Structure 1
Amino acid sequence: MMGRNLVARERTETINLEAFVPQDHLLRAIDRYLDLTAFRDHLKPFYSHMGRPSVDPELLIRMLIIGYCYGIRSERRLCEEVHLNLAYRWFCHLGVHDRVPDHSTFSKNRHGRFRDSDAFRELFESVLRRCMVEGMVGGEGFATDASVIKADAQRQRAVPGMERIDWGDPSRLARPVREYLAALEASVPTDPPKSISLTDPAASWTATAGPAFFAYSTNYLVDVKHGIIVDVEPSSSSHAAESRATRTMIDRTEQRLHIKPYRLIADTAYGSAAMLGWLVKDKGITPHVPVWDRSQRKDGTFIVGDFVWEPEADQYRCPGGKALRKEWRAFTHARVHVTKAGTVNYRSSGMDCAPCKLKPWCCPHTATRKIVRSIHEDARDVARRIMQTPEYAQSRRERKKVEMLFAHLKRILKLDRLRLRGPTGAHDEFLLAATAQNLRRMAKRLYVEGMVPTQPVA
């Protein structure tokens, strides 16, 4: 017999949200480890003690966490989803009949109190501290890398970097343009980029794969024990900017969280002489980083490795047994011999090279041989020795945890293109995404797998 279910749609139902949300639901797991007490205390000075009560900032943050955890990129759609989804209402502490905030409330708070107080940084670090309490941050090894995220800027709204741009009335400029001009005034003059976006001038013109586009880079510093993100920093899409971002993250983690790793894992982009020198000499961190070496030759002549370095004499010894020195005569005033690039040039003597039988394999097109040695060459030697160890091979495998986080960021969280413009917009989106990733990792690792926390929240 065919059954039939005709229930009056206007019938009033009594729903217990606590019983409605399954025990293994992701949001129930996240709610167990999300404590916004410190976040509220951080925001208190930015609210007046008079007037009507505002929309609860905790409600806005919980809604944003839902959006980033489930890849809901539009705030208008996020409000619709929270209105319809009972599990979302439970997580936001909303009853069935409670009103969901309007989507415009997010923009007003983001450009106001949240940005003035750096609230998203406080939120990220509060979640990170909870990860530390639960024992998910080892602090022994960190891995770093960057991923390119498309900016909200069209190719058609671009002008050549050499072209003079009339930005118009300063009082009517958009926020991303104001941020760009303020940063331009405070920075040291450099060569102009190839293209500049009129809507988001701070975005970098890059071509990682396929046609060029405007983008920012999100830089992660990840603890390799459980893949927890310990810091995140936006930057332009260049190797130099990404290396500077890594320095900023390591310094900030040490200052704010009192954590400094024993080893840093990274790819060749971070293997410059200046970066390795900073890690070894300034920070005392073991670099598990491939050395960025351009000394290899393709013409069959001797490479730098064929020359023997003699530190006591401060000179090289060529395969023919002759010396290469940074100076061949005494000067009245001592010279440093360090170039602007942070290198020292060592040259052979013309009297030694002219009769040498090895000259066709050493310097066939020049009178003498020159070797460029970095002032951080000792740090590069440390990195080269580490590359031969089993620990380095293990670090190569652990670096994949950063790549997995970037894949998760773009495929699951849907953050392959920014919705907010300017450096502050990138800053907010990257921090919220990293917060959501840490919450998901902690919730699935500890709650869903049946691990019960034994320590109270700090």
Structure 2
Amino acid sequence: MMGQLGSGQDKLFYSFNLDNHVPREHLLRGVDHFLDLRDLRQHLAPFYSPMGRASIDPELMIRMLIVGYCSGIRSERRLCEEVHLNLACRWFCRLGLEDAVPEHSTFSKNRHGRFRDSDVLRHVFESVLCRCMSEGLVKGEGFAIDASIIRADASSAHGVPGSDPVDWGCVKRQSRAVREYLEELEVANPAGTEAANTTETLTQPKRISLTDPAAHWTAAKGSPAFFAYSTNCLIDLQAGIIVDVEATPANRSHEVESTRTMIDRVERRRDLKPRRRAGDTAYGSAAMLARMIEEKEIAPHVPVWDKTTRKDNTLFSSEFLWDELANEYRCLTGHTLRSDRRKFRNPRSRVTNADTIIYRASQFDCESCSMKDRCCPNAPFRKIARSIHEAVRDETRRIAKTPEYKRSCRERKKVEILFAHLKRILKLDRLRLRGPSGARDEFPMAATAQNLRRMAKRFTPETKQMNQAVA
């Protein structure tokens, strides 16, 4: 017998429970189980006036943002529509069927005001990290570091060469990203100082965006150039949990420098100090290795950044014998290379601006040497630049031969998996907000969403109850 619809939608009263209509295995159920925002109001209390009309609950806005980042919803207009229509999103955001969803402009007003002033998005990331630690997902024994380039919200066509003068026009007509860029330039080079009046102290970028001047003009290998920022992630190697994240310009020197910031911050705030740290060659500079081994006592599981190799089939620096006691090199024929062949009345450190010491052979020895064609065919004598941190580089090379180093190389791929997840699943292959502050807003929120998703999929309430029952 053919069925028929009921009495339609003209009922006056309904018995409806949102919780009954959200599947037990839904992602937001797991996220809600591990998200604790009880101290959010206390953190934001100094930034709200005690008088006036009540504002929108900040917890509601944070929960909506988490829904957007967990679901890959990049538009706040689209996010408001999704929360309005989706029962699971309403349940997660603590909204009833008749509760109104905030306007999309509310997020912008709070973001440019109290959210950035209070650094609340970083606070939410830290609270989620604490939950990851309490769940046993952060061991703190080994970390891995890497960076990934994210396109800025700036068109390549709206850019000018870095050498061209730019008239930024009236301050009132400038966008937030432009004002932020000019303010940072003013802080770095205060007006009236000698540095502010010269252009030699600043490295000229190849191209500047007129909409987001702080974005760096960069290009991946084999692809056209674009404006971008870098997200730098420090992860724990046990479960791939992000323990810190930092936004920087898409520049290698800034990316490497962020390593120091993140390691110091994690140690200061969470008392986490790893025994080893994995990374690629970009993090294998001599200064960084010296900081890891000598200052932090962390074993660097990274390849040494070595520029001493030659491509003209001449002898490498490693083929020369180093004598620590005599402070000299010896070539294959037994001749010495010294740094102090010329004596000065006032002793000199002989350290160059590149933190190296130059060791030179005698020109007389090289002219009569039978191996000159293999050693220095285009120079009158052989020179070797030895880093002041060469002992640390040797220690790193020794570590690279251990089985633990090979394990770190395998585990380091977890960072690449997180970046692929960030761009393909969370849809963060292009920033939605402009300026360095926009990148500092988006990257911690994306890292928060990734940590929450990882906890939700590893420890759902049902599996946690089963584990407790077995224990």
SS in 2 for 1:155: coil
Aligned: 1:443 with 2:456: yes
Shift of 1:14: 2.9
1:229 is matched with 242
Aligned: 1:288 with 2:289: no
Runs of 4+ aligned residues of structure 1 deviating over 6 Å after TM superposition are none
Shift of 1:190: 2.3
Aligned: 1:201 with 2:202: no
SS in 1 for 2:463: coil
> Which stretch of the first structure deviates more once superposed, 41-50 or 13-22?
13-22
Which letter does structure 1 place at the counterpart of 2:27? L
Q: TM-score, normalised by structure 1?
A: 0.97
Q: CA RMSD in A?
A: 1.6
Aligned: 1:211 with 2:224: yes
SS in 2 for 1:234: strand
- Long gaps (5+) in structure 1: none
Q: Specify which of 424, 441, 453 is matched with residue 428 of structure 1.
A: 441
- How far apart, in 2, do the equivalents of 1:299 and 1:450 lie? 61
Aligned length: 455
The 1:106/1:321 distance shift into structure 2, 3 A limit, reads same
Shift of 1:5: 3.2
1:329 is matched with 342
- How far apart, in 2, do the equivalents of 1:379 and 1:409 lie? 35
Which letter does structure 1 place at the counterpart of 2:358? N
1:359 is matched with 372
2:154 is matched with 153
The Cα offsets for residues 142-173 of structure 1, whole Å up to 9 and x where unpaired, read as: 00000000000001110110011111122332
Following superposition of structure 1 onto structure 2, how do residues 208-287 of structure 1 map, counting pairs within 5 Å? Answer: 208-209=220-221, 210-287=223-300
- How far apart, in 2, do the equivalents of 1:447 and 1:179 lie? 42
2:197 is matched with none
- How far apart, in 2, do the equivalents of 1:293 and 1:403 lie? 24
The Cα offsets for residues 212-235 of structure 1, whole Å up to 9 and x where unpaired, read as: 100000000000011000000001
Shift of 1:325: 0.7
- How far apart, in 2, do the equivalents of 1:267 and 1:449 lie? 39
2:391 is matched with 378
The Cα offsets for residues 264-287 of structure 1, whole Å up to 9 and x where unpaired, read as: 100011111121122112221110
- How far apart, in 1, do the equivalents of 2:268 and 2:404 lie? 28
Shift of 1:9: 3.8
The 1:129/1:325 distance shift into structure 2, 3 A limit, reads same
Following superposition of structure 1 onto structure 2, how do residues 80-229 of structure 1 map, counting pairs within 5 Å? Answer: 80-187=81-188, 189-209=201-221, 210-229=223-242
Which letter does structure 2 place at the counterpart of 1:337? R
- How far apart, in 1, do the equivalents of 2:263 and 2:447 lie? 16
Which letter does structure 2 place at the counterpart of 1:241? H
The Cα offsets for residues 374-423 of structure 1, whole Å up to 9 and x where unpaired, read as: 11111111111111111110000000100000000001100000000000
> Which stretch of the first structure deviates more once superposed, 144-153 or 237-246?
237-246
Tell whether the 8 Å contact from 1:445 to 1:451 is kept in structure 2 after alignment.
no
The 1:3/1:247 distance shift into structure 2, 3 A limit, reads same
Which letter does structure 2 place at the counterpart of 1:142? F
- How far apart, in 2, do the equivalents of 1:452 and 1:359 lie? 74
Shift of 1:448: 6.2
Q: Specify which of 321, 335, 348 is matched with residue 308 of structure 1.
A: 321
SS in 2 for 1:100: coil
Shift of 1:6: 5.7
Q: Specify which of 321, 324, 333 is matched with residue 320 of structure 1.
A: 333
Aligned: 1:398 with 2:399: no
- How far apart, in 2, do the equivalents of 1:10 and 1:421 lie? 48
- Long gaps (5+) in structure 2: 190-200
Which letter does structure 2 place at the counterpart of 1:190? L
Q: TM-score, normalised by structure 2?
A: 0.94
Which letter does structure 2 place at the counterpart of 1:110? R
- How far apart, in 2, do the equivalents of 1:90 and 1:346 lie? 70
Tell whether the 8 Å contact from 2:150 to 2:429 is kept in structure 1 after alignment.
yes
> Which stretch of the first structure deviates more once superposed, 138-147 or 206-215?
206-215
Tell whether the 8 Å contact from 1:446 to 1:453 is kept in structure 2 after alignment.
no
- How far apart, in 2, do the equivalents of 1:292 and 1:449 lie? 48
> Which stretch of the first structure deviates more once superposed, 28-37 or 220-229?
28-37
SS in 1 for 2:39: helix
> Which stretch of the first structure deviates more once superposed, 14-23 or 83-92?
14-23
SS in 1 for 2:294: helix
Tell whether the 8 Å contact from 2:33 to 2:461 is kept in structure 1 after alignment.
no
- How far apart, in 2, do the equivalents of 1:153 and 1:336 lie? 47
Following superposition of structure 1 onto structure 2, how do residues 4-19 of structure 1 map, counting pairs within 5 Å? Answer: 4-5=4-5, 8-11=8-11, 13-19=14-20
Which letter does structure 2 place at the counterpart of 1:17? L
Tell whether the 8 Å contact from 1:134 to 1:453 is kept in structure 2 after alignment.
no
1:20 is matched with 21
Following superposition of structure 1 onto structure 2, how do residues 21-40 of structure 1 map, counting pairs within 5 Å? Answer: 21-40=22-41
SS in 1 for 2:157: helix
Shift of 1:185: 2.5
Shift of 1:330: 2.1
Which letter does structure 1 place at the counterpart of 2:71? Y
Shift of 1:174: 1.4
- How far apart, in 2, do the equivalents of 1:453 and 1:343 lie? 60
SS in 2 for 1:451: helix
SS in 2 for 1:345: strand
Which letter does structure 2 place at the counterpart of 1:8? G
SS in 1 for 2:145: strand
The 1:187/1:308 distance shift into structure 2, 3 A limit, reads farther
Tell whether the 8 Å contact from 1:272 to 1:291 is kept in structure 2 after alignment.
yes
2:381 is matched with 368
